[in-house]
Chains A and B, each alone.
Chain A
Amino acid sequence: MTITWERGMTTVAEFLALSSALTGFSPAELRGTGMVGAYQALVVQQAGAEPLDRLTATVARGGIGPSAFGDGPERELAQAIAQLWYLGTWPGLGGSTAPERDPAFVVSARAYAEGLVWRTFGGHAPSTAAPGHGSWSHPPADPA
């Protein structure tokens, strides 16, 4: 990873650790998607560096259950980061200043393809893989 963050305290390694705790995928698996830098930048841009730092600190203290997060913004941010990884979609945050616009968006075609949800059961995001003619006849592969 080449990106480092000057504004916030959260380093790339810390963001990976945070993401890993939230998603249940190892840092190596997450790094393999190639999305770490883009996602960290997006979170800082959408949520701000400080809330991310606070969440990083909470999780570093060993809290990943919802009870570890206070109600409100901290838990919402944890959910948003997990969703980002699982779907490649930013769900928007409640505090969004433009409520008339749907604040949710797909980050990129690449992010969609790298969504982790498909890997939980050994699948691929529709339109992104060509496993071969008749591949669907076989029992599913073991989840990644």
Chain B
Amino acid sequence: MTAPGGRRWDVIVVGAGFAGSLVAKVLGDRGWRVLVLEAGAGATDAGPDRALEAYRTALVKSPNSPYPTSPSAPSPDVPDLTGRPDGGYRAHGYLVQRGPLPYASGYLRANGGTGLAWTGLAPRMHPEDFRAGDFGHGRNWPIGYQDLEPYYRAAEHELGVAADADEQREAVGLPFPDGYRFPMRAIPRSHLDHVMAEALDGRSVRDREARVRLRVTTTPHARNGVPDPGHDGGAGYRPDGGRCVGHASCVPICPSGAKYTPLRTQARWAPSVALVTDAVVTRVRIAANGRAGGVDYLAHDGRTHTVEAELVVLAAHAIENAKLLLLSDAANRSDQVGRNLMDHPVLLTWGLMKHQIGPYRGPGSTSGLEGFRFGPARARRAPFRVEIGNWGWTWALGPPDLRVAELLRTGGPDGRGLFGAELRRTLGDRVGREFAFQFEMEQDADPANRVTLDPRHRDRLGLPRPVVHYDLSDWVKRGIAAAKGVSDQLMGLLGAEDRTRFEPGPAWPGYFEHEGRPYAYRAAGHGAGTHIMGDSPATSVVDQWQRCWDHSNLYAVGCGSMPTVATSNPSLTMAALALRSADRMHQDLLARHRPIRLKRAFEGADLP
């Protein structure tokens, strides 16, 4: 690789995660010279075997546990938070937390980013989600579903999404072009999904005055299934990586390479894309004319380097993008940088099915209930998507380890411990019937939920750590209460033993009470909104192209741009947005220069 300094690049991309890897791919394919600066250690340095070994031997198998993190680029992780015995929480990780409730998601600073550890669920947003403001909560998007639709298809191709277009059209109401086929056929449903469908399909539950019809619906996945020969007008699809064979560890690591990670996109980069790892960007240089001139970064050698480019793209994750803009004193005419922090607070409910259902097999969730995502009810309470959880009580209460320890210590008739054949039988009977529901709530954009920088708290490099102020609105809390009501009815229809119970304590930093009832949430890792997109520089940070209103050659890409986080897992939408923005970046660059490949083509024209 050429030394990154000493030359001018067409594009600098900050962050080799999900969004950055995609933007670099598109621009590299068009012949631009792209420098990607990545704060984390190279994930491939240690290799996938090391990561697997680290995961298997980690006492707490948190999302970041397999991955080497660099001390100079710390990452927040789930164990950073603990609940206090009487409610409230304590934060002891990288994020400084000051809100009434905790921002409970992590992210990963390693080459490949959080997309190494993600689950791989890849549903689209619903057309209605782009007009959330019309329902009185959150903002409207400056673009609609149809603007994004071709890029959804491009993203589904790049990520390799397995889904059934007809089912998505009927059950979710998604418009697709006629004859559209996903790259791969839908990932098979779990046995639990089948059991649920039998009990729930065609029934309905009450949500206040309305009745919502139930239909168990297969979720689109960015993991390898059986390719559909009808994809791409009959061209078919050849997946990279193995087929999903049911390792059941997609979060945080897929041993068969079936789950999409941004490393797959990196492997497809053109040679004009260069990656430098261990490069922590500390600031965007803004010139007197308001244009971004380049960035400063701290390299492995501990020295600060400056690189220059025609165009700068921040793709460092929602919270880190905000941090970089704040550090650079950039893009903040609207005073919205770092504000409107959103996530998917997740209400978990859990129980025991009547019969053995074979939990802890296959992907973490293969189906969901989609009927609570849309419609007039969202004016009253936050809408939500219901995921059926295939991994027992892992997310709710932790892996079976905790049930083993509990039975050993307090099981048995006298409550003093259970051993031997009785222990074996009891564990098999209970763990084999565990299941959970995961209600992912839309959160509204509230400017008071924000990331700021406090110079009193610094990381190893001396950079201020992000300070987060986070809370849930009453609208979200009403959504959580409604979801609990839905859960109660689902448990009834299933004839399941509901074991849901929320109480303050170390395991529940997200504990709160609403209208006299106890609740607690976990978080899905879907941080968004911190450089919000809009149609006016007065009220938003980026325009519909994710270009900063204040700096015509500075882009901030990722979920941070999303005006609403909707109810769908956001990364497919983020990927579609990144691909759309990359097209725009190409236009911006063309307006000033010609890419190398085009130059070569012209030069070549003189040769015989």
Contact = CB atoms under 8 A, between A and B. Distances in A.
B121 to A, nearest CB: 15
B414 A130 contact: no
A121 B356 contact: yes
Given A25-B424, A106-B59, A121 B431 contact: yes
Interface in A109-125: 109, 112-113, 116-118, 120-125
A129 B360 CA distance: 11
Contact of A121 (B61, B226, B390, B428): B428
B88 interface: no
A104 interface: yes
Contacts of B244: 133
Interface in B422-479: 422-425, 427-428, 431-432
B421 A24 contact: yes
Contact of B419 (A24, A109, A143): A24
Contacts of A65: 412, 419
A139 B198 CA distance: 14
Nearest to A141: B358
Contacts of A127: 52, 55-56, 247-249, 253, 255
B97 interface: no
B189 A89 contact: no
B57 interface: yes
Contacts of A79: 408-409, 417
B419 A66 contact: yes
A97 interface: no
B157 interface: no
Contacts, number: 168
Nearest to B366: A136
Contacts of B270: none
A36 interface: no
B188 A24 contact: no
A109 B403 CA distance: 21
B208 interface: no
Interface in A82-97: 82-83, 86-87, 89, 91
Contact of B417 (A75, A104, A132): A75
Interface string A18-32: 000111110000000
A21 B359 CA distance: 27
A139 B358 contact: yes
B194 interface: yes
Contacts of B248: 124, 126-127, 136
Q: How large is the interface on B (under 10, 10 to 19, 20 to 34, 35 or more residues)?
A: 35 or more
A123 B358 contact: yes
A134 B431 contact: no
B256 A130 contact: yes
A131 B361 contact: yes
B423 A23 contact: yes
A135 B405 contact: no
Interface in B355-371: 356-363, 366
Interface in B483-538: none
B592 interface: no
Contacts of B57: 106, 108-109, 112
A141 to B, nearest CB: 8
B360 A126 contact: yes
A120 B418 CA distance: 15
B211 interface: no
B359 A123 contact: yes
Interface residues of A, number: 52
A106 B191 contact: no
Given A24-B425, A83-B404, A132-B245, A64 B189 contact: no
B190 interface: yes
Nearest to A63: B419
Contacts of A122: 356, 358, 432
Contacts of B255: 127, 130
Given A24-B422, A122-B432, A136 B401 contact: no
Contacts of B247: 126-130
A45 to B, nearest CB: 18
A82 B404 CA distance: 9
Interface string B382-408: 000000001100000000110111001
Nearest to A87: B401
Contacts of B362: 135-137
B190 A82 contact: no
Interface string A56-87: 00000000111100000001001100110011
Given A83-B405, A126-B247, A106 B56 contact: yes
Given A82-B408, A120-B424, A137-B191, A22 B390 contact: no
A125 B363 CA distance: 13
B301 interface: no
A137 B362 CA distance: 9
A138 interface: yes
Nearest to B55: A127
A70 B418 CA distance: 15
Nearest to B421: A24
Contact of B357 (A83, A117, A140): A140
B424 A24 contact: yes
A15 B59 CA distance: 25
Contacts of B357: 140
A102 interface: yes
Given A23-B423, A120-B428, A131-B246, 17 more contacts: A21-B420, A64-B419, A65-B419, A66-B416, A87-B401, A106-B56, A117-B431, A121-B356, A121-B358, A121-B359, A122-B358, A123-B432, A130-B245, A136-B390, A140-B191, A140-B356, A141-B358
The 4 closest A-B CB pairs, nearest first, are A136-B362, A140-B358, A121-B432, A24-B424
22 contacts: A66-B412, A66-B418, A78-B417, A79-B409, A79-B417, A86-B404, A108-B57, A109-B52, A109-B53, A109-B56, A113-B56, A117-B403, A118-B360, A121-B427, A121-B428, A126-B391, A130-B245, A135-B246, A136-B390, A139-B356, A140-B358, A143-B432
Interface of A: 21-25, 64-67, 75, 78-79, 82-83, 86-87, 89, 91, 102, 104-106, 108-109, 112-113, 116-118, 120-141, 143
